[in-house]
Structure 1
Amino acid sequence: MSRRCLRLSLRAGETLPSNLCWRVEQGYVWLARWCPGADPLTLGVWGPGELVMPALIGLTGLELRSLSAVVVEEEEPTSAMEREFLEEQLRQAAILLLLSRVRPAESRLLQLLDWFGTRFGTMTSQGVVLRFGEKTLTHQQLADIAGMTRVTVTKALTQFRQSGVIAGQEGGALLLRVSASELWEYS
């Protein structure tokens, strides 16, 4: 008898069991470690078609949360899938560690948006369009992922809009008009 796999549909902000392997069918999920009295520590972000296996990371206190409306399906991973996930997880962890050290905070946020654009964005003649489901990420979600306060994120996004670095798009998308090489000018 074959094992039935779970298929879940969640709204933004809902949590998924972190002891299972999930294939993201639609939407985006965020893995963080929550510590009392501290900001969440971002361990990764995954989107459509990607596998996430929090149990392989080997830490307690992990929370897998939907960033947007998501549809996920439980997956029975093979050894090759586990190895691929761990390699990708190592890359993400290295990038996120580097991002966590960027100062000032505004530069960190801009580089996080650039990383999201590289992973999940759509290149257009005007720049990279970021869309996380039906709307863009909230300021609080960006703050939690980047290890910043919501107020700092709001101020930075306002500054980026005023300077033309980013622009709102139809349907809640965000247009990032600065290329990755230009981002270092903000550091």
Structure 2
Amino acid sequence: MSRRCLRLSLRAGESLPPDLGWRVERGYVWLARPSSDGALLTLGLWGPGERVIPSLIGLSGLELRSLSPVVVEEEEVSPAMEREFLEDQLRQAAILLLLSRVRPAEARLLQLLDWFGERFGTMTSQGVMLRLADRPLTHQQLADIAGMTRVTVTKALSHFRDAGVIEAQAGGGLLLKVASHELWELA
């Protein structure tokens, strides 16, 4: 007899049990762990169609949160799913480690937005449209993910808007108007 899998619908900012395997059906989730000073360190981000299996990371104190309204379904994890998740996690960990070393903070935020665009964005004739579900990421969420303060994120986004690098879109989207290879030149 197969067991019944749990299905959850959560609002942005709500926590999911990190000891289960999840398939994201709608929305975006964020995995983090508090550092010794209490700041959250980003370990990964997942969106629609992706699986997240925090227990495979082997760390205690993990927090799995919804970045947007989400619908997730618990999955019984096969060895192939475990391997796929670990490969994805290794890639994300490498990217996040590289991003954490980018200075100044403005350049780090721009690189983070570019990474979001590659993973979750939609390419348009004007650039990459970023939209997480029905709402944009808040400045505080971006700050938490990037390891920055909310004030720094707000100032950087204002600077990017003034420079024409990003443009707010109707409905809460954000258009990143710079190609990936140009981002390092702006930093």
Q: Are residues 1:16 and 2:16 paired?
A: yes
In the TM superposition, what is the alpha-carbon distance from 1:186 to its structure 2 partner? Answer: 2.2
In the TM superposition, what is the alpha-carbon distance from 1:38 to its structure 2 partner? Answer: 3.3
Aligned length: 187
Q: Is the 8 A contact 1:23 1:75 kept in 2?
A: yes
Which runs of 4 or more aligned residues in structure 1 lie more than 6 Å from their structure 2 counterparts after TM superposition? Answer: none
In the TM superposition, what is the alpha-carbon distance from 1:34 to its structure 2 partner? Answer: 1.2
Aligned to 2:103, the other structure's residue is in SS state: coil
2:80 partner amino acid = A
Spell out, residue by residue over 1:34-70, the C-alpha distance to the aligned partner (whole angstroms, 9 max, x if none): 1352321100000000000000000001000000000
Q: Aligned-residue CA RMSD in angstroms?
A: 0.7
Q: Which residue of 2 aligns with 1:111?
A: 111
1:86-165 to 2 correspondences below 5 Å? 86-165=86-165
In the TM superposition, what is the alpha-carbon distance from 1:133 to its structure 2 partner? Answer: 1.2
Q: Is the 8 A contact 1:23 1:51 kept in 2?
A: yes
Spell out, residue by residue over 1:86-136, the C-alpha distance to the aligned partner (whole angstroms, 9 max, x if none): 000000000000000000000000000000000000000000000011111
| Rounded Cα–Cα distance in structure 2 between residues aligned with 1:121 and 1:143 | 19
Q: Is the 8 A contact 1:32 1:62 kept in 2?
A: yes
Spell out, residue by residue over 1:3-38, the C-alpha distance to the aligned partner (whole angstroms, 9 max, x if none): 000000000000000000000000000000013523
Return the TM-score normalized by structure 1: 0.99
| Rounded Cα–Cα distance in structure 2 between residues aligned with 1:63 and 1:9 | 17
2:24 partner amino acid = V
2:164 partner amino acid = G
| Rounded Cα–Cα distance in structure 2 between residues aligned with 1:116 and 1:31 | 15
Could you list the runs of 5+ residues in structure 1 that have no partner in the other structure? none
Could you list the runs of 5+ residues in structure 2 that have no partner in the other structure? none
Identity %: 76
Spell out, residue by residue over 1:64-85, the C-alpha distance to the aligned partner (whole angstroms, 9 max, x if none): 0000000000011110110010
